[in-house]
Amino acid sequence: MPRTGHALNPLYNVWIGAKQRCYYPGHKDYRNYGGKGVRMHAPWLDARTFMAEVEAEIGPRPAGCSLDRIDGTKHYEPGNIRWSTPTEQAHNRPNTSWLTVDGERLTLYNAFYRLGLSHAQAASAYDSLRRNGKSLNHVLSRYGVDLCRVSDLYLAPKRVSRGRDESKPRKRKSRIDVIT
């Protein structure tokens, strides 16, 4: 069956997806949207209004981008939406830790790289902050970082377990278990 009318608009599927995430409990992502109280701006429940107002506010959808809420604690509403790449969306999550370096807000790992730490050093620094409770000054001074370059550390809350006892180690399947 050929698509007709507003279903031809590239924003139509964006509208369907946002609406289902907010209002359809059977949607795979409902618990992260509607389940947390995220709603759509009331006039945007109409597809034509949504498509016209979103395109007027943030322009047509660029290739490889999807609709993102700027502030994840707010609704799909005017002033709180943008087109984002998957990487940008991954950084816009409540479990992302941030550090300001030279006045620019970066994810914690990107900040460590900007400060000249290697991948292994960045992983070690993160562990020292998160698991060992060391201060940012203590961790960065270990690597000779100029502390005047950094400010505003935000360590995201630790992930909440969903039904698994985090105090017990995960059972890993051995190669033999997988083969048999």
Amino acid at 18: A
Summarised one tens digit per residue, pLDDT across range 132-145 is 888 889 999 999 99
Q: What is the pLDDT of residue 58?
A: 96
Q: What is the pLDDT of residue 1?
A: 43
Contact 149, 115 (CB under 8 A): yes
Report d(CA 84, CA 130) in Å as an integer.
28
Q: What is the pLDDT of residue 2?
A: 46
Q: What is the pLDDT of residue 49?
A: 96
pTM, two decimal places = 0.64
Contact 159, 95 (CB under 8 A): yes
Q: What is the pLDDT of residue 93?
A: 81
Contact 132, 81 (CB under 8 A): no
Q: Give the residue among 48, 39, 53, 43 at the shortest CA–CA distance from 12.
A: 48
Q: What is the pLDDT of residue 31?
A: 93
Q: What is the pLDDT of residue 152?
A: 84
Mind listing the pLDDT tens digit of every residue in the chain (180 residues)?
444 556 678 899 999 999 999 999 999 999 989 999 999 999 999 999 999 999 999 999 999 999 999 988 899 999 999 999 998 888 888 778 888 999 988 888 889 999 999 999 999 998 888 888 888 899 999 999 998 999 888 887 766 555 555 555 555 444 444 443
